[in-house]
Structure 1
Amino acid sequence: MPHILIVEDETIIRSALRRLLERNQYQVSEAGSVQEAQERYSIPGFDLVVSDLRLPGAPGTELIKLAQGAPVLIMTSYASLRSAVDSMKMGAVDYIAKPFDHDEMLQAVARILKDRQSLKNTPSGERPSTARGEKAPASDGEIGIIGSCGAMQDLFGKIRKVAPTDSNVLIQGESGTGKELVARALHNLSRRAKAPLISVNCAAIPETLIESELFGHEKGAFTGASAGRAGLVEAADGGTLFLDEIGELPLEAQARLLRVLQEGEIRRVGSVQSQKVDVRLIAATHRDLKTLAKTGQFREDLYYRLHVISLRLPPLRERGSDVVEIARAFLERQRTRMGRADLRFAADAEQAIRHYSWPGNVRELENAIERAAILCESPDISAELLGIDIELDTLDDLEQEDLLGDTSLLPSAHEPTEDLSLEDYFQHFVLEHQDHMTETELARKLGISRKCLWERRQRLGIPRRKSNAVADG
């Protein structure tokens, strides 16, 4: 079980983080300062140190030296993000900006620990890291994203072509499809890979603060601005700026961003001086920016600046067998994290994973598997534990099965099939086979979903046999 040290002076944050990590099968120790950590523990003995940047006494970056090679993850607020980037130059393995959600922290921890384990297993000692500014491991290919379907292979080809350029990229896709992974792949395969990748969720920053956060401000620019501060665009100088949910960016901030793209310069809030920046912009959205531009909710000139290269990330429901491959990768992560090598999907779980529409996409799939792995008391993870009821779900994309593939279920030669309409044939088929087939089997042989079968029964007045209902319920 990996042993993690948390160094954080805020008791509430430290306790919450400890509970989160312990719930996910990590051994956790804690300290309120660098000095306390030194006095109580042998810091190099930990698998990972998670430290706040600003601590009483010595800053969190002091732990980088004290860890003697053990990875250090720096936590920082947006206000001190420039310092976080500097801390990476000092040797921190990565940073995470506050406020962060639980999934974001767990993903960062899992990634760092996986890299550390890979490093131990690599005889040459070459670092297979995926931290910001470093290349993705070869185990998942140079892209670092799972996907075998045609749409994803096409996307990977475009990423390889686009990454070496400095062209702006707009990534479009539903929430939870993995747009940030695409942005990370573009950065890792670019000439800017050794410089920072600064990720910003435009929807997570209050509208009143977003200009200051992105472009910085001068002392006295507004109430509470007691000192000048660099913004996130400056922090990304020489590297890549990833703006997630750019459709939520206010119009005034859009005008400032347009200046960055057109002139390659920024002006801090409250300043009359401009300064040059060298930033590659990658933006992402789940909204239709073209429509927003037409209705005046998004600047049309900015839209066309962003739309130099457009990449579409398909939803999980359009990725065929990828969903099972991704699910198995997530399950393997849970096996490792929880020390339960016996965990596996039951047959009904794999079927549910394959046929469910996953409206929350990859993020929903990952959360469902994590929840199921935690709650599972036996080696087999069932569809019920995943929270999927494929029998009652209103899905229309159940696996199609051609009736012609099973001639035993076709009407016999003496039956007047040519005189039957489609509705007549449906009724004839259901009445003939419902005594020995479940509703699921009937639906599959007809090539429709259970919901559709139920609706047609209602419309045609075909009751379910009681024996069938009991057996299938």
Structure 2
Amino acid sequence: MPHILIVEDETIIRSALRRLLERNQYQVSEAGSVQEAQERYSIPGFDLIVSDLRLPGAPGTELIKLAQGTPVLIMTSYASLRSAVDSMKMGAVDYIAKPFDHDEMLQAVARILKERQESRSTSGERPSSSRNDKAASSADGEIGIIGSCPPMLELYSKIRKVAPTDSTVLIQGESGTGKELVARALHNLSRRAKAPLISVNCAAIPETLIESELFGHEKGAFTGATAGRAGLVEAADGGTLFLDEIGELPLEAQARLLRVLQEGEIRRVGSVQSQKVDVRLIAATHRDLKTLAKTGQFREDLYYRLHVISLKLPALRERGNDVLEIARAFLARQCVQMGRENLRFASDAEQAIRHYNWPGNVRELENAIERAVILCESPDISADLLGIDIELDDLDDEDFNDIAPPQANNATHEPTEDLSLEDYFQHFVLEHQDHMTETELARKLGISRKCLWERRQRLGIPRRKSGAAAGP
């Protein structure tokens, strides 16, 4: 059983991480500082060290030297991202941002331990051997994304085809659909998997600092630049740079990024010297870059450089039964995290999850389930605990499917065929909406008012304002 040392001064985070790792069959020891770790343990004797960057006394990077070859995984907040990149240059095997996703942490730990085991067992073999093995395992579809609806299966196929190349990829999809998961899958299945994956949210960095953060700066390049620093593009040399929300990138920074793609080189802010970099770029956005390019808000030449390979993530509402599969996975994770057991969704909760539109997509679903687990006082999670805005009257699909179209000419006896149901819905609403309220229409159709409104929108049936009665 692998033995992991956690060095973290915040007791809540340290305890939660210990429980997470122990529940996944790891032996765990812990300390609140580098000094405590030195006094209590033989640090090189662990299989992996997971340490916060900022600790009382010596920083977590001190463990890199003390570990004598044992891999060190650094945890850091986004505000300390630059320090995390610097720690990797000092020898940290990887970094992970706090608050971290539990699956992300488990995947990182498993990957690091596997690589360490492989490096030990194949030390006398050719380097290409482990790479070939890794490529073979990658072909098995270890992408790390939940879902089996047709659009996602098509996406997985494209990921496997694109990942081994160095082509630039543009990931498009609504906020919260999991664009960073796709970027991480592309990196993990590529030949660059052992090199850094540097993730940058372009919308989270002030416009005045974005060029310095991405491309670095020389000493004295601007007020406060007391020393030269490498940028995040340079930190990703040999690996992958993931630019999330690239549509928010200022035009000046876009010009510099275009040079990286065209020439494979960067120039720090305030420098006259260029330097070569080997970086694969993956970009993501929820905006329509083509429209932005036409209106001058995004460089058209950069758009075409980014659009070599385009991957489209479907919204959660377009993924059918995937939503329940994802919800159950989130429920299992939250139960582990909070020490709850035997929680399950009640029937009305499953109906609400299946019918709700989830405008915030997977991120909103995860937050709703975390809320429900916190508030739940019984083994069954009811729909009201999810905190979503949906009416619960007769939400079940079968309630609507049981309404057979009167005198249907359809040859089949199955009333669940979408076309016949929609024809019946449209006919019924147009015939009765002049003398029925929305509540009465919904009750007759066996659906909620919200569902009635959504079907009106989908089928393009306007709500009449006239009060004149039409004959039934």
TM-score bracket for this pair, using the shorter chain length: 0.7 to 0.9
Match of 1:335 in 2: 335
- Summarize the alignment of residues 52-451 of structure 1 with structure 2, pairs less than 5 Å apart: 52=53, 56-57=57-58, 59-62=60-63, 66=67, 72-75=73-76, 77-86=80-89, 90=91, 92=93, 94-97=94-97, 100=98, 102=99, 104=100, 108-109=104-105, 111-112=107-108, 141-391=141-391, 401=401, 403-404=403-404, 422=428, 426=432, 442-444=445-447, 449-451=451-453
Q: Residue 403 of structure 1 aligns to a residue in which SS? A: coil
SS across alignment from 2:76: strand
Secondary structure of 1:186's aligned partner: helix
Deviation at 1:141, TM superposition (A): 3.2
C-alpha distance in 1 between matches for 2:5 and 2:217:
37
Q: In the aligned structure 2, how far is the partner of 1:406 from the partner of 1:69? A: 72
How big is each residue's C-alpha offset from its partner over 1:226-266, in whole Å with a ceiling of 9 and x where there is no partner? 21111111111111110000111111111110110111100
Structure 2 CA distance for aligned equivalents of residues 37 and 386 of structure 1? 41
CA contact (8 A) 1:368 1:387 kept: yes
Q: Which runs of 5+ in 2 are unaligned?
A: 23-27, 123-133, 408-412, 416-426, 457-461
Contact 2:265 2:277 in 1 (8 A): yes
CA contact (8 A) 2:246 2:285 kept: yes
**Structure 1 75/261 Cα, relative in aligned 2: closer, same or farther at 3 Å?**
same
Alignment CA distance shift 1:237-1:441 (3 Å): farther
In the alignment, is the contact (CA less than 8 A) between 1:140 and 1:146 conserved in 2? no
**CA distance change for structure 1 residues 138 and 365 in 2, over 3 Å: closer, same or farther?**
farther
Q: 1:349: Cα distance to partner?
A: 0.5
Deviation of 1:34 after TM superposition, in Å, equals 1.1
Shift, 1:181, TM fit: 0.6
1:315 offset after TM fit, Å?
0.6
Equivalent pair of 2:138/2:189 in contact (CA under 8 Å) = no
Task: Report Cα offsets for 1:394-414 as digits up to 9, x if no partner.
Answer: x9x999637337989x9xxxx
> Match of 1:200, SS?
strand
Amino acid at match of 1:181: L
| Whole-angstrom CA distance in 2 between matches of 1:354 and 1:405 | 24
Q: Partner residue of 1:417?
A: none
1:329-383: CA deviation from partner (whole Å, max 9, x where unpaired) = 1112123333433110000000000000001100111111112112211111111
Mapped partners of 1:240, 1:115: distance in 2:
17
In 1, distance between residues paired with 2:21 and 2:372?
15
The residue number in structure 2 matching 1:51 is 52
Q: Does the aligned pair in 2 maintain the 1:398–1:448 contact within 8 Å?
A: no
Greater Cα shift, 362-371 or 39-48: 39-48
Q: Contact (CA 8 Å) 1:400, 1:448: kept in 2 or not?
A: no
Q: Distance in 1 between matches of 2:62 and 2:224?
A: 27
Given residue 449 of structure 1, which amino acid in structure 2 is its aligned partner?
A: C
Please give the alpha-carbon distance, in whole angstroms, between the structure 1 residues aligned to 2:355 and 2:76: 39
Q: CA deviation at 1:219?
A: 1.4
By how many angstroms is 1:279 displaced?
A: 0.7
Runs (5+) with no aligned partner, structure 1? 9-13, 127-133, 411-420, 463-473
Say if 1:48 and 1:113, in contact at 8 Å, map to a contact too: no
Contact 2:368 2:386 in 1 (8 A): yes
Tell me the SS of whatever aligns to 1:282.
strand
Question: What SS is found at the alignment partner of 1:167?
Answer: coil
Equivalent position of 1:414 in the other structure: none
Q: Give the match's secondary structure for 2:155.
A: helix
- CA shift, 1:36, in A, is 3.1
Alpha-carbon spacing, 1:213–1:459, altered in 2? closer, same or farther (3 Å): same
Alpha-carbon spacing, 1:45–1:187, altered in 2? closer, same or farther (3 Å): closer
8 Å contact from structure 1 (residues 242, 282) kept in 2:
yes
The CA RMSD measured in Å over matched residues stands at: 4.5
Letter in 2 for 1:225: A
Q: Name the amino acid aligned to 2:146.
A: I
Give the residue type in structure 1 aligned to 2:204: A
8 Å Cα contact 1:170-1:306 kept in structure 2:
yes
**Distance between the aligned counterparts of 1:225 and 1:136, measured in 2?**
47
In the TM superposition, residue 196 of structure 1 has moved relative to its aligned partner by 1.2
- Give deviations 1:189-211, integer Å, cap 9, x for gaps: 21212211111111111111111
Q: Deviations over 1:33-83 (max 9, x none)?
A: 411333356867899733216874465351685599687433272333432
Question: Normalising to structure 2: TM-score of the pair?
Answer: 0.74
1:449 Cα deviation (Å)? 2.2
Flag the 1:339–1:251 CA change in 2: closer, same or farther, 3 A: same
SS of alignment partner, residue 227 of structure 1: coil
